[in-house]
Amino acid sequence: MSEKLAAGPNAASLPQIADLQRAVPLVSRLRKKLGWLVMDRSALSDVGESALGYLNMLFLFDSVVYLRSLASLRKHQAALVEIYEAVGSLDAAIAVASYREEFARTARPAREDERRLKFSSLYHPLLAAPVSNAFELIERSALIAGPNMAGKTVFIRTIGLNVILAQTLNFCCADAAIVPRAIVRSSIRREDSVQAGESYFFAEIQQILNFLKTEGDGRRYMFLIDEIYRGTNTIERIAASAAVLRHLALTQMVLATTHDVELQELLSASFDLAHFSDQVVDGRYTFDYQIHPGPARSRNAIKLLEISGYPPAIVREAENLAARATQLDSIPES
């Protein structure tokens, strides 16, 4: 394999090909010494293979050649390791190039030590028909609001995936990208555990506690949090969310999603506010999946019940209760 790779053209001046070309004489010498061991015996006829088998039993050719080759292999061990690493590096480069070729648009990211994030025409690498967005944060965090199904969770996943692609494969699914040198940690998909006796909310508490425990370890992080503390009541959810997010954002970059209008107001001083929106067209919801600056005001949960075919009486009662809650800040007991 290494000889075939070395024999090919090196128009791109790849260092791996150059290393293999320099190793060709050594590989040829070792091949001659190991010829008996590396022979492709499956290509022989049944008679030839049987004859070689009997000769090997009589004269122990395999053992003799193996013992004679050990000294040469030990002598050139470092060079052989370099050959394997060069072939492996080429294989990885081909895999990355093939993967990158699948995308219509990619960009080589600029990486910075500061808390700076900027994308032009950013899109999700796994969606068949992704919607592009522009986004920028400079020494700030972001709170992203909006109605159900509008794209909040997909957007922070898109950010996380592209930051990881930038750090590992050196490209982003965007027209241009600037990313921080940061470890991506997420609290997006959370599950309860019947076996461990842990509720959804407790699982989320533990996950975000792990984020807080990174304080003081000297590393930079990017925290992605989807609908923080949605497993508990409204008053405590908003209070705990505001306290935790504000604390995390003191030293790290945080991108969090929420349905709570009140949380936007509490964090407006330390977070950039952004939102996704929805539209009702011909009795059905549509979404443009574009992120917009500023807080979100629209809600669509009850409207989704109506469009999904819930009984009108339930929808009307829900709307009345929501209107009363908006005025009184709580839904009275019936």
**Residue range 158-176: mean pLDDT, rounded:** 95
Average pLDDT, the chain: 84
> What are the CA-CA distances from residue 242 to residues 110, 153, 228, 247 (Å)?
32, 19, 10, 8
pLDDT value at 295 more than 50: yes
Helix (H, G, I), strand (E, B) or coil at 154: helix
Task: Note the pLDDT of residue 2.
Answer: 61
First vs last Cα of the chain: how many Å apart?
78
Other C-beta atoms lying within 10 Å of the C-beta of residue 8: 10
Report the CATH architecture of 110-299. 3-Layer(aba) Sandwich (3.40)
Contact between 270 and 257 under an 8 Å Cβ cutoff? The reply is: no
Helix (H, G, I), strand (E, B) or coil at 105: coil
The DSSP letter of residue 179 is E
> What are the CA-CA distances from residue 38 to residues 30, 63, 88 (Å)?
10, 13, 21
Other C-beta atoms lying within 10 Å of the C-beta of residue 225: 25
Contact between 176 and 166 under an 8 Å Cβ cutoff? The reply is: no
Task: Note the pLDDT of residue 328.
Answer: 57
Task: Note the pLDDT of residue 193.
Answer: 56
* Spatial strand order in the sheet of 141-145: 183-187, 221-225, 253-258, 141-145, 271-275, 292-293
Q: pLDDT, tens digit, for every residue of 69-95?
A: 777 778 888 888 888 888 888 889 889
User: How far apart (Å, rounded) are the C-alpha atoms in residues 299 and 307?
Assistant: 14
Q: Are strands 116-122 and 133-138 parallel, antiparallel or unpaired?
A: antiparallel
Packing angle of the helix pair 234-248, 200-212 (nearest 10 deg): 20
State the pLDDT confidence band at 331, using cuts at 50, 70 and 90.
Answer: very low
pLDDT value at 284 more than 60: yes
Helix (H, G, I), strand (E, B) or coil at 20: helix
CA atoms within a 13 Å half-sphere pointing along the CA-CB vector of 263: 31
Contact between 291 and 308 under an 8 Å Cβ cutoff? The reply is: no
Burial of 304 (0-12, 13-18, 19+ CB in 10 A): middle
pLDDT value at 332 more than 50: no
Reference 119, options 136, 132, 137; nearest CA is 136
**Residue range 35-61: mean pLDDT, rounded:** 73
Q: pLDDT, tens digit, for every residue of 211-253?
A: 999 998 999 999 999 998 887 888 899 999 999 999 999 999 9
Output 179 or 28, whichever has higher pLDDT: 179
Using CA atoms of 210, 215, 218, 221 in order, give the dihedral in degrees to the nearest 10: 60
Task: Note the pLDDT of residue 8.
Answer: 63
Task: Note the pLDDT of residue 125.
Answer: 92
Q: b/e for 74-110, b at 16 or more Cβ within 10 A?
A: eebeeebebbeebbeebeeeeeeeeeeeeeeebbebe
- For the ranges 45-54, 243-252, 288-297, which has the lowest average pLDDT? 45-54
Task: Note the pLDDT of residue 108.
Answer: 95
> What are the CA-CA distances from residue 317 to residues 29, 48, 260, 302, 312 (Å)?
86, 89, 21, 10, 9
Q: pLDDT, tens digit, for every residue of 101-137?
A: 889 899 999 998 889 999 999 999 999 899 999 999 9
Domain ranges of the chain: 2-101, 110-299
